[in-house]
Chains A and B, each alone.
Chain A
């Protein structure tokens, strides 16, 4: 047991790229995955754009048996399965096994079951036809649907946990997997999260007036974190997955190592001191970030890049302020900061895992992806951080340490410290 935890495989289903090579190309070139959705216009939504992965449902037949595929309706499960199995293959391991893989567990998060798929269930029950529902509804309605499909396909026999912490879900899942390995409970953890923002969840966010509604005719400009014209977030869907392993265990099997998870923290502001169901308590946020640095044994000055939560709402300014407080830097001293959401929108539970995959790609390939749509930065943010720290074009440079954080409804926070493997 090395006590060190490394990343040996990654998979991603993102609005701007499916699979690691396509996703890497997209984030290096600032390619937006935001599209206009006619159905949202037909439904009179104020926001009519979204980050939808160009995912071919039939491609799931490459991962699971025809029998399992038949009757699979949960879009979030499909995304999660594909990302997780891609990560597994990427780490150099076969899917099939006769005996359970006792040393490997899974922490995979999501928000809710696919309510569009559940609509059919509700209609049948209301129509007194519950008998016709069949055997495949419960396994897809249950919150642990995604982890059940993943762990079943791969025969994972260690801890199988489904976590849910709103927008902090993805980073929290990765942190939990890290902790299980670090503390010796598992040798390997398949971690990540999935989200499908279905029409009903989308509609509920639309009603909260927190979505971007002024760029329906220019979808690629709709997600504008830190911009003065930012008017809300753009919902996104997808999944991200990582294979985490104990360093010695990974070295023994000759695995390729992408990066190291140095540590992290997840906490809550308690919905006190300014924190509410929907707003973060700044003290909670700064504590989360400083605890993450502390458990990782690093100082603020070691951080090359902050991968922010930065959704393009009026919370962006406060988030930058919180990072400054936590890191203790002045306007010029801040590290580079970027937001993947400028390209793919906010994929809620999946955000943390997709953004962590992006963070690790930046470490591996030595670049900082651009913040697109930041040609008109918010002056209040510019007062906090020097503009050269908010790149609008890709920067090629060595990236050794990334701080990746997400903050969610319920006043929950999660922060990871990721490092180049040395």
Chain B
């Protein structure tokens, strides 16, 4: 049985940029344990010399000519239409750097 504990769940949540409450961690831990235990069944399948499948189209290297198709470009206004946090035509994002305080 694969054991997933609350720390594992917190770690995965952090990797996925999700902030979970303690109640959620408590709920998800047994659920994910059960699911991961179940999907671990795959280890019993012999896959020696089997190529992995990542897609089923059989297509390779689909390219298009390197030209601008104006019909498929959003205007700056359209691109910004989904946010209330715009400034001078840019998206406003939370600061990730702060001023040094030890100077």
A-B interaction? no
Binding site for B on A (CB under 8 A): none
Binding site for A on B (CB under 8 A): none
